[in-house]
Amino acid sequence: MALSAIRGYIEIFHSRQRTQAHLDYRSPAAFMQRFYLTDRCLANPLRPPTNSD
């Protein structure tokens, strides 16, 4: 039980929230969020408006 609580703390608060130098001083969670948002935007770029007269 205690070991499980310690692992949970390390995984959530230490590993995901702590900023990392190799991630441009962002937390792993923030880095992944930005990565997926950028990836999604690149996969579905906005189309320029067209004249539908």
What is the residue extent of each domain of the chain?
2-43
Cα angle: 43, vertex 36, 41; to 5 degrees:
30
For the entire predicted model, the pTM comes to 0.44
**Burial track 4-24 (b if 16+ CB lie within 10 A, e otherwise):** eeeeeeeeeeeeeeeeeeeee
**DSSP string for residues in 19-53:** -BGGGTSB-HHHHHHHHHHHHHHHHSPPPPP----
10-41 pLDDT per residue, tens: 777 766 667 777 778 888 888 888 887 776 66
At residue 47, does pLDDT exceed 60? no
